[in-house]
Amino acid sequence: MKDCIFCKIANKEIPAKVIFEDDICMAYLDINPLHSGHTLIIPKNHFTDLDDINEETVAHIIMIAKKIKKLLEEKIGAKGIKLVQNNGTLQEVKHYHMHVIPDCKVKDIPLDEVYKLLTK
């Protein structure tokens, strides 16, 4: 969708620190992480929110969230992982995305360093 920042990331028109992608979705580091390793998983096609997205795609994204959880545990030592998906007034970017947020024990690792740890 035109003027959607996450569509632009999916189309590689603007850069992101991508840690996983397949035909359906992409996972990249949040630019303003709550804790180090904070990752967003988006469908490559534009869906607005939980009402809009189809069951097949949302099921796939949950499956990828399991993979990202394991990656954050193994590579940066996360011991707790929170999944968050905002809708309506709570949602800033209107392209469906799942936040995968590690615990605060892995707080202050710089974004570039997290990216290296998660992609090596």
Q: Does 31 bind ligand AMP (CB under 6 A)?
A: yes
Stretch that binds Zn ion, among 26-34, 45-53, 72-80, 99-107 (CB under 5 A): 45-53
Q: Which residues of 14-49 are buried (b: 16+ CB within 10 A; e: fewer)?
A: eebbebbbeeebbbbbbeebebbbbbbbbbbebbeb
Site string for ligand AMP, 59-98 (x = CB under 6 A): ---------------------------x----xxx-----
Name which position in 32, 55, 56, 108 contacts ligand AMP (CB under 6 A). 32
Asked whether the beta carbons of 80 and 8 are under 8 A apart, the reply is no
- Whether 99 sits among the annotated catalytic residues: the reply is no
Stretch that binds ligand AMP, among 24-32, 47-55, 59-67, 103-111 (CB under 6 A): 24-32
Q: Which residues bind ligand AMP (CB under 6 A)?
A: 5, 16, 30-32, 40, 86, 91-93
